[in-house]
Amino acid sequence: MWIEQEQLAIEMIQHIDVNGESVSTDTNIPEEELIKIYHGMVKARVFDVRAMKLQRQGRIGTYAPLQGQEAAQIGSAFATGEKDWIYPSYREIGVSLMKGMPMEKLFLYTMGHLEGLAQKKANVFPVQIIIGAQYLHAVGGAWASQYKGEDSVSVAYIGDGGTSEGDFHEALNFAGVYKLPIIFIVQNNQWAISVPFEKQTASKTIAQKALAYGITGIRVDGNDAVAMYTTMKQAIEKAKAGKPVLIEAVTFRQGPHTTADDPTKYRLPDEENQWSKKDPLLRMKKYITNLGIWNEKKDQELFEEMENLVTQAFEKAQSTNPSQIKDVFNNIFEEKTKQLEEQQKQAEGANRP
């Protein structure tokens, strides 16, 4: 019997519509948690807007904005536990902040400072620039956790364009065969840099790709923070039970791919206007306001608080001494090898006047 795409009927999970109204009876999240999710989304948005301005002023380097993807990132990250591991690409600023990454570290990274990736306060691996490579790293981490009998899951993030990389398919195949405690999150933001979704895959959805590797797949409204949170909680239970999960979060990148990109060259204003009506921050604000647990005064105070936090973080990063040649040899091994020590001495000697 021939297998055709038309046989697949994949629905998209949604709990909150664009007006902030609940469209599901499966939602049962404490009010304080809803507010924490919104706090995380606002922090990510404020950081992102400021970072874009700083880059245009020449005060930080190339930056990959996340605006429009706050729900996909914060909703999923908020569901994870302290022992769980995050494997990000270059756009997961919101995830990193939610997992406890110091904000000044993120600024240092954009400044090319080695300390930007050196941190021990959060279970977040260093930013991966090579498209899709973090999926293989996450599989390795999940396999190690499984072998050691740890109560944790590995969570890897990627964009829709990354699913065209071989690493994506190898990772899913390995996870399926070994039944690893891992969750793959694909933020389908509609554009792989300047390539639209339908030009980089012939699949109707990304979620259906899970079937080829014997793992569980699901499609979620990535602009719905509540749907992302509840789905992620379920995914963690499955992953810990030896059932890897692929989550397709359908969202939209509101800004450029990076600050080196110009989306006006390939995207029409009508598309951007349609997606702006689905803005995840606005949707979540309407939802908690409709519940009677939020108002404009609280919202203004929160934005002012986050603006101050971002300012303090940038000032701290700016006052940090530049990286030195000796710093290159730190944070590689827990204890430096003899060879590494010799290389450091040679480098420092060559660098002396």
Please indicate whether residue 90 is annotated as part of the active site.
Answer: no
Collapsing DSSP to helix, strand or coil, 22 comes out as: strand
CB 13 within 8 A of CB 227: yes
**Catalytic pick among 15, 45, 137, 253:** 253
CA torsion angle 249 255 257 259 (round to 10) = -150
Q: How far is CA 8 from CA 52, 128, 207, 319, in A?
A: 40, 33, 11, 55
Nearest to 116 by CA among 321, 107, 259: 107
**Catalytic pick among 15, 45, 257, 283:** 257
**Catalytic pick among 266, 267, 287, 352:** 266
Please indicate whether residue 178 is annotated as part of the active site.
Answer: no
Nearest to 288 by CA among 115, 12, 40: 40
Structure tokens at 59: 């005060």
Please indicate whether residue 219 is annotated as part of the active site.
Answer: no
Structure tokens at 150: 């740890």
Close Cβ partners of 265 (under 8 Å, ≥ 6 residues apart): 194
Nearest to 26 by CA among 184, 208, 234, 187: 234
Distance CA 25, CA 34 (A): 16
Collapsing DSSP to helix, strand or coil, 143 comes out as: helix
- Exposure string over 289-313, b if 16+ CB within 10 A, otherwise e: beeeebeeeeeeebeeebeeebeeb
Alpha carbon 120 to its chain centroid, in Å, reads 19
Nearest to 253 by CA among 68, 7, 30: 68
**Which residue reads 């240092």 in tokens?**
108
Residues acting as catalytic residues: 253, 257, 266
